[in-house]
Structure 1
């Protein structure tokens, strides 16, 4: 039954876990309870605010799945492509560090502003820092592309792998500022 058996058993375990959780919450013997099976009502503004967060997260998950498919494809392109892929994505991870640091700062600043009730300033800071992080990505990706020959020499890549590495870094120089999720 291989993978389908594992998936089926996981489904059964999750159904049992959900049923037990529902029973526990409906009993009302603990501090966390639910009154009735359908105590919730449709609240448009709350659902809208949830979707503002959930839809970008879902888009990031979809992009992650494309990344997984890309890795599967890269494996079949041969050793030179696989080597360039591994080196290229190691370099790209390093090049993302400034933008990642800006995003960590952004979370702190926006959290403080939202906590103090200053939503207008929070939106302004989000836009400003996202633009700055995209600029940092474009700058670091450009430096990475210009230094691709040096990276190839640093990793002792073959001429074919070096060519692939230059192509990967060029593509990422364009794609990082556009599709980077932070």
Structure 2
């Protein structure tokens, strides 16, 4: 059963973190909508645990109402695009020259419809995973530091949370690479960051 809805966690300073992580992990496969967690502080360890549980976004308290509403609407819009019926196009129909379509090896990326396929099969990515993939695609061949990726995808500096990038790269490798332990396209450049080839 898939629930097309929005899920919000409470203020993490008032609830048990392990309970929240367990709850998010249980509902993630059933909720085809953004999961956003609110907290007063965000440490590297907390961010890592939340993103490993596949939380879409962390809202730092106090927040501004209008900004939160806009952020929530944007997340819902992205998910609504992901849940629209898709027609899987045969691999040879994709071209590097078609506007809005990119190809990386066996991956076909439809930017306009937030769709990624591999060998003709749709790959389910979270909005952040898709944004990270597109940032890498748009900077293909360049070595990008974790800070560059955080700024480019999340749009702001996250102190001590470069592990967020590592976690999301790991998720992308698990979903897209044939062998996530020996990636062909999502490469680690030791001491510098990542690059897509």
TM range (shorter): under 0.3
TM-score by length of 2: 0.26
Larger Rg: 1
Higher relative contact order (CA 8 A, sep 6+): 1
TM-score by length of 1: 0.27
Greater share of residues in strand: 2
Greater share of residues in helix: 1
